[in-house]
Every structure is written in C-alpha cells, then in structure tokens.
Amino acid sequence: MPSLSMNKELLKKHLRLFITRSRKESEKFQKDMIERQEITAYYGQFTKDRIKSMNPDELYEYLSKLWAMLIWGNKHYVIDKIVDENGFDELKNSLSEVIWDENDIAERWDIFRSKIKGIGPAMLSEILCRTKPNDYLLWNRRAFVGLNYLEVRDLPRYDYQLNGEVYKYLCEVGKAISSELKEIGFEDYSLLAVDYFIWDELQVAENLSAIHSPTPKKAREAEVKAKDSQFIHNDIRDKIRDVGQWLGFDASIERKVSEGARVDAIWEVTIGNMGKVIYVFEVQTKGAIDSLILNLLKSLNNPAVQGVVAVSDRKQLEDIRKQALAVKDLRDKLKYWEYEEVLQVHESLEFVNSKINNLNLVPESF
C-alpha cells in the first residue's frame, strides 16, 4: 500500500474555510447533516441476512437511491440489467459479503469486483460508505478531483486501477481528513461527511477542467503493465456497454452472437419490422490475438452483425491489424478502438447524461 502523503497546509486552509461557511450557512449544513443521518440509517438497517432476503422491489430501491445512479434516466432498465447479468441471489450474496464479512476489505473488494458485473467502484464504494460511514470512503470522479488538488499521491485515474489495496489506501486517506475534521471541532467527521467536504470545498475549477486531459503515453503504458489485466478487461468491457446504452442501443456484455462466438459486448438495435442490427466488441488485454480474430470471424456468421470492433492499446491494435489483413472475410469489416479513447468517451457521456437527467425532463415511470 502506498505511503500516505498530502498537502496538509492546503487541507487546513480549506478546513478553516469549511468551518467558517458552516457557521455562516448553518441552515444548509444542518440540512446536510440530517441528510447524512437519514442515508446511514437507511443503509445501516440492511444487515447481512436482510440483504440476502431482499425481494426485487427492495433491491431496486436500495440501488436506485445511490448518487452513482443519477447518470441513468431509466434506473429500472439499468438495475434489471445488473440482476440479469449476475443472477438475483448471486448479486445479493456478494453484496452482503463485501459489506459484512470480516476479512480484509482489500480482499473483499477484489472478490466482488471479479465476480459482479455492472457495479463499479463508484457504486460499490458508495454502498460501503453509506452502510459503514466510519470505515469506507466514497470514491468517484469528484473525490479524485478533490484529493488530487490536495496533492495526494498514487490516486487511481481510471476504474481498472482501483483494486482492493488501492481502495484500502483511499480509505486511509479519507480517515486522515476525518481526523482533521474532528480536530477542528466539526460535529460530523464520518467518511460520508468527508465526502461532503470534498464536494463542497475541494472542487477547484482547474482540476475539474483538467480531468479530461489525456494521460501521457509513457505513464499510461506503465499503468497498464502494473495492473491486473482482468480488471482492465472488465472495466473496458463494462464501459463499452454503458456507452452503448447512453447512445440508445440495447447494450449488454458477454453475449453469444453465433455458434462458437461469445463476445465481450454488443450494441443492438431493432429497425422497424426489418430486424436487428448488432455491433460486436472484443477487448484484448493479454493472450493470443488469433483467438480474438477467430471469435470476431465467427461472430460474422450472424447476418445481423454489421460491425466488429477490436479494443486494445495502440501496440496490440497494430498486431491485430497485421493478423487481420490475412483473413479475407474479416479485414475489411474490422474496426479498431483504443481503450484510452473508450475511457474518455465514457467520462464525457457520463457527464452529459448526469446533467441532462438532473433536469428531470422525462419522468422515470414514463
């Protein structure tokens, strides 16, 4: 785990400003504290056994209340997808274990992330923070912006970098800020209160605008080599599905599209009474490229498949392109997408969707 380091003087400066604002805007801060109490009371009542005994309506309410769900207009559609992809009982059992089991959070985090599809670090950390606000930090883009501003080292820029050990480290960072909140006399110094502090006080304009800047190529390659390729693969796969859903496709992951071809992600759309059009995506992080080529080639046996896309880093895409040139039925149909671009597109569409959904133009029950 990285050693904890941050700009303490900068932190103390903003803590003083935060305390001053809390006195000037006492009504707002009191409302925020009541909101946190209601949040933790609701999620805290879901013990290990109660989570396992949830019915579908209870699970929907449990997940739909999360701030991480605000990016979705139709929450029922998204939550139904999560249940379908994981299985109702498997999802509940995994949630109960990651929250309530007593082994190290780093281990629990990695087990959950390797088993459960559709629930990323933002949703998972929010569930943990809402249930155990003294132990776990809520991690999302705003938390990255705030802690980056405080010059905290070794922050995960993308979800695939956030394994269990990294999340454990982030919780320690949050606890260090919590201790400072307590020391200056702020009434609520839970890690959920730390999240409110990060949101209210540390969203500095230059950091918000710089978050979409591309990662330098050398740093990007070093990050990929240092991380578990399975987490990278699953993160990219899930984000391709999200992008498809935001663009209006019926998007899903790990689908069989033809005999012998089970692909990482598809975007599907029905055109009137003419039938379906399917776009296929395969993510390559390690392993033999010829198996990817064969899988994409088999997927073209489905006449609805109108496009096939290989997703990887620049070097591997060049290798894929060279091998695909020798495959007549594939070379003119295969498209190439760098994984870094997938992450940037996802971030941009996530921002757009969250802002549009905040307008509440369409009732959720529509």
Q: What pLDDT score was predicted for residue 357?
A: 72
As a whole-number percent, the residues of the chain with pLDDT over 70 amount to: 89
Which letter does DSSP use for residue 67 in this model?
Answer: G
Q: What pLDDT score was predicted for residue 235?
A: 87
Six-digit token string for 171: 């919780």
Angle between helices 191-201 and 26-44 (to 10 degrees): 140
pLDDT tier, 364 (very low <50, low <70, confident <90, very high otherwise): low
Q: What pLDDT score was predicted for residue 362?
A: 58
Whether the CB-CB separation of 200 and 184 falls below 8 Å is answered with no
Q: What pLDDT score was predicted for residue 354?
A: 76
User: Taking residues 338-350, what's their average pLDDT?
Assistant: 89
pLDDT tier, 222 (very low <50, low <70, confident <90, very high otherwise): very low
Find the range with the poorest average confidence among 159-173, 204-218, 226-240, 267-281.
204-218
Q: What pLDDT score was predicted for residue 50?
A: 97
Say whether 158 sits in a helix, a strand or coil: coil
Whether the CB-CB separation of 63 and 79 falls below 8 Å is answered with yes
Residues 50 and 155: their CA atoms lie apart, in Å, by: 34
Whether residue 67 is predicted with pLDDT greater than 90 in this model: the reply is yes
Q: For 223-238, write each residue's pLDDT tens digit.
A: 444 445 666 888 899 9
User: Taking residues 30-59, what's their average pLDDT?
Assistant: 97
- The residues facing 269 across adjacent strands are 277
The CA distances from residue 307 to 123, 191, 195, 331, in Å, are: 31, 46, 42, 12
Whether the CB-CB separation of 360 and 254 falls below 8 Å is answered with no
Residue 177, judged by CB atoms within 10 A of its CB (0-12, 13-18, 19+), counts as buried
3-state secondary structure 26-61: HHHHHHHHHHHHHHHHHHHCCCHHHHHCCCHHHHHH
Element (H, E) at 97: helix 88-100
Q: How many CB atoms lie within 10 A of CB 181?
A: 21
| Residues 6+ away with beta carbon under 8 Å from 235 | 120, 158, 159, 160
Q: What pLDDT score was predicted for residue 37?
A: 97
Q: What pLDDT score was predicted for residue 226?
A: 42
Whether residue 218 is predicted with pLDDT greater than 50 in this model: the reply is no
Whether residue 140 is predicted with pLDDT greater than 80 in this model: the reply is yes
Q: What pLDDT score was predicted for residue 351?
A: 82
- The residues facing 305 across adjacent strands are 278
The CA distances from residue 104 to 48, 113, 136, 266, in Å, are: 17, 14, 12, 35
Q: What pLDDT score was predicted for residue 229?
A: 66
Whether residue 221 is predicted with pLDDT greater than 70 in this model: the reply is no
Q: What pLDDT score was predicted for residue 116?
A: 94
Q: What pLDDT score was predicted for residue 205?
A: 54
Q: For 265-308, write each residue's pLDDT tens digit.
A: 999 999 877 788 999 999 998 878 988 999 999 999 999 999 99
Q: What pLDDT score was predicted for residue 347?
A: 86
Q: What pLDDT score was predicted for residue 219?
A: 42
Q: Residue 317: which of 344, 268, 283, 342 has the closest Cα?
A: 283
User: Taking residues 166-192, what's their average pLDDT?
Assistant: 96
As a whole-number percent, the residues of the chain with pLDDT over 90 amount to: 68
Which letter does DSSP use for residue 72 in this model?
Answer: -
Six-digit token string for 103: 């082994």
Q: For 92-127, write each residue's pLDDT tens digit.
A: 999 999 999 999 999 999 999 999 999 999 999 999
Q: Residue 135: which of 192, 182, 94, 95 has the closest Cα?
A: 192
Q: Residue 261: which of 278, 240, 286 has the closest Cα?
A: 278
Say whether 87 sits in a helix, a strand or coil: coil
Residues in the chain: 366
- Write down the mean pLDDT value for the chain: 88
| Residues 6+ away with beta carbon under 8 Å from 41 | none
Top pLDDT among 3 and 45 is at 45
